[in-house]
Structure 1
Amino acid sequence: MNRNLAVLAALALCGCAHAPAPKIVTQLVKVPVAAACAPKDFRAPPATADTDAALRAAPGPAERYQLIAAGRLLKNQWITEAWSVLAACR
């Protein structure tokens, strides 16, 4: 009986000797995330009047030149806008 009591007491004392709770540390890890560079409302290239069909249908060189000049102005405006968006991406 004493032996059983000694074993029971030893087990009870061993049960009290437990490891301390683990220390939990939260760390912030910065991970690069791919993001779209161009805005959602970025417009497509403009439809210009200097199409092949319009240039062929022009009655003379002066009219063809006007179509090309008008198309160039629209394209230059769009290119300027596109380059400003691309520059912001870098």
Structure 2
Amino acid sequence: MKNAQWQNYVDAMPDVDIDDPYVKKLLALIGDNGLVKAIYFHLGNTAISWLDKPVPALGHKKPRECLQSRDGIALLKETLMRMPC
């Protein structure tokens, strides 16, 4: 996946309210605005708990674990892009 594809995907989503306490907490945990926007878009107020659940599409890894490496982040982005809108 190319960076441009990811950026186009994120740009097509509605903006998140960065003043929302839940979004602030999610941003503090993830540290990447694009990932926060995509994860919040798909999971809403269940996003934080989702970070600690094994996901079959991630090889049964937890999303939080994927945030620890470039390959994990790439897999997480690919997985998010495949989730139905």
TM-score range, shorter chain: under 0.3
Which of structures 1 and 2 has the bigger CA Rg? 1
Structure (1 or 2) with the greater helix fraction: 2
- Using the size of structure 1 for normalisation, the TM-score is 0.18
- Using the size of structure 2 for normalisation, the TM-score is 0.19
Report 1 or 2 for greater relative contact order, CA contacts < 8 Å, sequence distance ≥ 6: 1
